[in-house]
Amino acid sequence: MSVLLWVVAVPLVVLLIGALFQAIGSAIDRRRYPPPGRLVPVTGAHLHAYSQGEGEPTIILESGIAASSLNWRAVQSELAQLTRVISYDRAGFGWSEAARTPRTIDNLVSELEKMIDALQIAGPLILVAHSFGSLIALAYCYRNPDRVVGLLLLDPIDCEHWRTLLPEGKERLAIGARLSRRGAWLARVGVVRFSLMLLSAGARTLPKWIARMAGGSGESIISRITAEISKMPSELLPTVRMHWSRPQSFETLAHYLSGLTLCMNEVTYASLGHLSLIVISAENATESELREHRKLVSLSRIGEHVIAERSGHWIQLDRPDLVVSSLQRSYGVSRNPSVPLLRR
């Protein structure tokens, strides 16, 4: 066999083996980790919605830019003892189907509206949103002012920062999108799955070597995923690894990163009147982020700003107790049925 034939055949065989490994692993994952909630039809896709508890108001949990309903598990289990709580996966993440429309705020809010209608939620809503999710929650409030009675924002995204990116910042964002697209290709041929399996088993050197051999970008992609995974409860880690072994998670992230600055301009801040609003900032929030958070607080005549001590950006993971106590204190959510669920 000629050298040229070997050069062509060996990589092709490796790719085919990797694709088969990915297909078998995905099939096993679907049986081992079925969605805990239900798949709700919206425009062009089915969204996974996980509902716990009973009563009113209904609390809707909105995740950050690349997070899933699993990020809310600790908070949701506590709040479900008080009232009905729904976490969900936006299209392309978690157990939801891939997105069929551009990831604009308008489309994201429309999908949220259709999901809420499909779940036949008639009562008032409290929206709890993390990071990028604050844009979706805020836009939902503007479009549905009569349905929302409370808004809790966890370390909201700094819109002003992303609106005024310098050229080097825009280039980093573009690089992030390219890395995510490459991550999708690495996932298709089983590289991400294999590396996450090795990392979960305690290996470090081989996954990094594989990532460099894959083109140099895989290492940063896998490092970013494992940094998020490290904050999750240990019993959820296999499911998180399953989600991030799929190409669609990376493809969806690439779409978000590509359109991030456009999303910032879709939401124009306007008064929220007397809507009950709490903004919780991470303890290590920058001055720019704190200015943005104070601006958000000022949108409501009864807005409140809280600093989450001992917490970084992932407040629902670092301080789930603060999220629950803030809802109890400010919105009157209580286990005692003689106490009104909502204090207006």
Which single residue is written with the structure tokens 């209904």?
Answer: 58
Which of 150, 136, 138 has its CA nearest to residue 65? Answer: 136
Q: What are phi and psi of 173, to 5 degrees?
A: -65, -40
Helix (H) or strand (E) holding 182: helix 167-188
Tokens of 10: 């060996």
91-127: burial string, b at 16+ Cβ within 10 Å, e else: bbbbbbbbbebebebebbbbbbeebbeebebeebbbb
* Count of helices and strands (H, E) across the chain: 15, 8
Q: Give me the torsion for CA of 187, 189, 195, 201, rounded to 10°.
A: 110
How far, in Å, CA of 267 to CA of 135, rounded?
7
Residues of the chain with CATH 3.40.50.1820: 40-164+279-331
How far, in Å, CA of 319 to CA of 238, rounded?
22
Q: Are 141 and 275 in contact (CB under 8 A)?
A: yes
> Class of the 40-164+279-331 domain?
alpha beta
Q: Are 278 and 215 in contact (CB under 8 A)?
A: no
The reported pTM is 0.88
Q: Determine the pLDDT at residue 6.
A: 64
Neighbours of 20 (CB within 10 A): 12
How far, in Å, CA of 127 to CA of 144, rounded?
12
- Per-residue pLDDT tens digits of the chain, which is 344 residues long: 576 666 666 667 778 888 898 999 999 999 999 999 999 999 888 999 999 999 989 999 999 988 999 999 999 999 999 999 999 999 999 999 998 899 999 999 999 999 999 999 987 999 999 999 999 999 999 999 999 999 999 999 999 988 888 888 888 888 888 888 988 999 999 988 988 887 776 655 544 544 554 444 434 444 545 555 667 778 888 898 899 899 999 999 999 989 999 999 999 999 999 999 999 999 999 999 999 999 999 999 999 999 999 998 899 999 999 999 999 887 665 444 433 444 33
Q: What are phi and psi of 201, to 5 degrees?
A: -85, 0
